[in-house]
Amino acid sequence: MSFSLRSLPGQCAALALVLGATSPVAGGQGGQAHVECIVNDFWADRQKSYHVPYQGSPQIQANGYGPVVQPIPRTEALRVVYKSTGAERLRGSAKRRVLRYGVLWLVDPAMLGASESETISALLRAGAVISRSNGDGRVYFRARKADAERLAKRAAGLLGQRGIVTRLETTYSPRRSSRQPNTIVSSIGAMSSSVAMMRVEGRLSRSPLQFIEFIPAGMTVLPYGTSFLVHVRPNEYPALRNYIEQEGNSVLLVGARSEVVAGDQASGAVRSCGGRALSRRFPTPVVTYAGRNLATLDVEGQQLRVAEGDTVLVVQRPQWGRGLEIAVMRFG
């Protein structure tokens, strides 16, 4: 998906942002992400495109001296956590034979920006004797204590996470994930997202609830504040696009494309394109993890995982005027 400069009517300008072939985002310098902005030029009846540095989320200092800019987040260590010997039911020579290859260790695929199956494959290619799903979002593998970190780091390299820092933990952790909510990790090298903030006026846009009631079947709908969030899989996206097109008048407010930045809103890139006020009154879920082909959003305490090609839609009632405000965020 890319943005392109084309002469389009105002009604379909917003939807044009989420169509077309992929075009790369200009890479940042010194760890700084860049944003491609798309705004409507109403005088020329077309869109304008330009690149700017990513502006972090403004936060208020404790001393009250005004806003500060959140920097690009640092990288968290990949935790390699002890699980068990994996030989509790064995006895005698059979137990000694298994333990000769080491004990079981846990890693979180989300910290590697990969799925469980991709992580299992990478661990086996890196030299693990066995590697399987732990059933709680993590993956376990067997290795000696002296080799566990090295093997995990090699697997991370195979998944494109080179130079990652590892941390060995020999005390069993029963937690579902090695990543706590609101963890901030680096977004450099993460997948990109395209955001279209738009206003829709039509037959079903009198309220967010009415819009959601008639949305095509199969899409996941979650409550989000006083509005709704919709998670759309790649195969469902054409139905979503047609549904919005049928609503009638869709006007682009601001569009942006950038790498996904952890610790910021999923639509945070629009802030760099003149959408600061819009970002304040139209919040979207915070990205708690940004990987190469996977991201995690915090939806009122629930962790929503989005993969390449997924679309997240947030619908709210505008502060003034008729219709709805819709944020379309497409990942990949």
Residues 206 and 94 in one domain: no
In a domain, 174, yes or no: no
In a domain, 4, yes or no: no
Q: Is the pTM of this model over 0.85?
A: no
Flag whether pLDDT at 275 surpasses 50: yes
Q: What is the CA radius of gyration of the chain?
A: 23
Tell me whether residue 3 is in a domain.
no
The verdict on 322 and 200 lying in the same domain is yes
pLDDT in tens, 250-269: 788 889 998 888 888 899 88
Side-chain-side CA neighbours of residue 52 (13 Å): 16
Tell me, what's the pLDDT at 32?
52
Higher pLDDT, 24 or 265: 265
Does 178 fall in a domain?
no
How confident is the model over 183-216, as pLDDT tens digits? 334 444 568 899 999 888 876 667 888 888 888 8
- Same domain as 192, residue 162: no
Task: For residues 195 and 292, state if they share a domain.
Answer: yes
Q: Do 23 and 98 have their domain in common?
A: no
Q: What CATH number is given to the structural domain containing 157?
A: 3.30.70
pLDDT score of 248 = 67
Looking at per-residue confidence, does 215 or 39 come out higher? 215
Please give the pLDDT value at position 10. 41
Q: What is the pLDDT of residues 232-246, one digit of tens each?
A: 999 999 998 888 887
Which tokens is 331 given?
A: 């990942």
Number of domains in the chain: 2
Question: CA dihedral defined by 109, 113, 115, 120, rounded to 10 degrees?
Answer: -50
Q: Is the model's pLDDT at 106 over the cut of 60?
A: yes
What pLDDT shows up at residue 204? 63
Residues 227 and 299 in one domain: yes
**Shared-domain flag, residues 50 and 87:** no
99, pLDDT greater than 50: yes
pLDDT of residue 29 exceeding 50: no
Q: What is the pLDDT of residues 222-235, one digit of tens each?
A: 988 778 899 999 99
Q: Name the band, by pLDDT with cuts 50, 70 and 90, for residue 66.
A: very low
Of 169, 195, 218, at which residue does a domain stop? 169
Give the domain range for residue 22. Answer: 10-73+185-331
Which of 169, 200, 219 is the endpoint of a domain?
Answer: 169
- Let me know whether 252 and 327 are in one domain: yes
Regarding whether 160 and 223 lie in a shared domain, the answer is: no
> Do 192 and 284 fall into the same domain?
yes
pLDDT at 281: 85
Can you tell me the mean pLDDT for 217-222? 89
Edge-to-edge order in the sheet of strand 139-143? 131-133, 139-143, 103-107, 78-84, 166-169
Strands (E) in 25-77, as ranges, are 34-41, 46-53, 58-60, 67-69
Verify that 134 and 211 share a domain, yes or no. no
Pair 66, 92 in one domain: no
Q: What percent of the chain has pLDDT over 70?
A: 73
Residue that finishes a domain, picked among 140, 169, 198: 169
Is pLDDT at 158 greater than 70 in this prediction?
Answer: yes
Asked if the model's pLDDT at residue 118 lies above 90, the reply is: no
**Are residues 93 and 82 in contact, defined by beta-carbon separation less than 8 angstroms?**
no
* 321 pLDDT higher than 80: no
Model confidence band, residue 306 (pLDDT cutoffs 50, 70, 90):
very high
- Helices and strands (H and E) in the chain: how many: 7, 18
- Domain for residue 127, yes or no? yes
Comparing CA positions, the residue from 165, 106, 111, 95 lying closest to residue 131 is: 106
In a domain, residue 258? The reply is: yes
- Contact at 8 Å (CB) between 114 and 183? no
Mean of pLDDT values over 284-304: 86
Establish if 285 belongs to a structural domain.
Answer: yes
Q: Is residue 2 part of a domain?
A: no
